[in-house]
Structure 1
Amino acid sequence: MSLRDLLRDERLASMSRADRLEALRSSRLYFQRPDEPGFFVCETEEGPVVPVFTSCAALGLFAGPCGWASTTVADLVELLPEGVRALVDPLGPRTYVLDAKALEITVEQGEHDGGGRGTAGPEPR
């Protein structure tokens, strides 16, 4: 674990669940840009996923030189086709599935309870 990872983990541990969720939703993710608008969807045994990355460097390791685009997690939730989940950093040590429905439920609960707290979030892999 690098010093950067240690500091990030310590900062996240001191945040409230609502603050962690807001930080997650505003995080930027990178993905390979297809020729037509949309996403490259990969079929897996667990259903369709779109590989997305937390940095351009991670995308480059996965796809090599390619056209790319980026968006926030909040926008990705809106843009993903129904039933498709995002696989974050598929080759990295902290790969996880970002389930758009889980994030939408969490946001709706936060709007109703006034604190942004919910029970759902990204699934660890």
Structure 2
Amino acid sequence: MSLRDLVQEQAVARMSSAERLDAVRAMRLYFQRPEEPGFLVSETEDGALVPVFTSWERLALFAGACDWASTTAEDLAELLPEGVRALVDPLGPEPGPFLLDADVLRTADTEQGR
């Protein structure tokens, strides 16, 4: 683990759950842009997923040279069709990939009075 990773881990550990949620919402995510407006959705055993990445370099490692777009996680949650989740950094290093569920973000907004 690098010093940068250690400092970041400690900073996140000191955040309140609301601060962590705000940080996730503001995160910039990159995804492969299809020919038609929308997302490239993969049907899996666990449901419909859209692969998204925390950098365009990670997107390139996954998809190669491709058309791409980016948005914040908050906007992505609004744009994803109901029942579709985003898989963040499917090939990412530790701590590994995680699911971004738009329904969870919407529920958190309701609970926080947003």
**Band of TM-score, shorter chain:** over 0.9
Please point out which of 99, 102, 107 is paired with 1:97: 99
Match of 2:84 in 1: 84
TM-score w.r.t. length of structure 2: 0.94
Q: Which amino acid letter does the alignment assign opposite residue 66 of structure 1?
A: C
Q: How many pairs does the alignment contain?
A: 112
- Aligned-pair distance for 1:16? 1.0
Q: Which amino acid letter does the alignment assign opposite residue 61 of structure 2?
A: L
Distance 2:100 2:32 in 1: 17
- Aligned-pair distance for 1:4? 2.1
Match of 1:73 in 2: 73
- Aligned-pair distance for 1:45? 0.5
Distance 1:99 1:12 in 2: 20
Give SS of 1:111's match.
coil
Give SS of 2:70's match.
strand
- Aligned-pair distance for 1:2? 2.2
TM-score w.r.t. length of structure 1: 0.86
- Aligned-pair distance for 1:31? 0.2
Give SS of 1:37's match.
coil
Unaligned runs of 5+ in 1: 113-125
1:66-91 deviation digits (Å, cap 9, x = unpaired):
11100001100100011100000001
Tell me if 1:108 matches 2:106: no
1:13-40 deviation digits (Å, cap 9, x = unpaired):
1111111111110111000011111000
RMSD across aligned positions (CA)? 1.1
Distance 1:2 1:83 in 2: 37
Q: Which amino acid letter does the alignment assign opposite residue 23 of structure 1?
A: A
Distance 1:24 1:66 in 2: 25
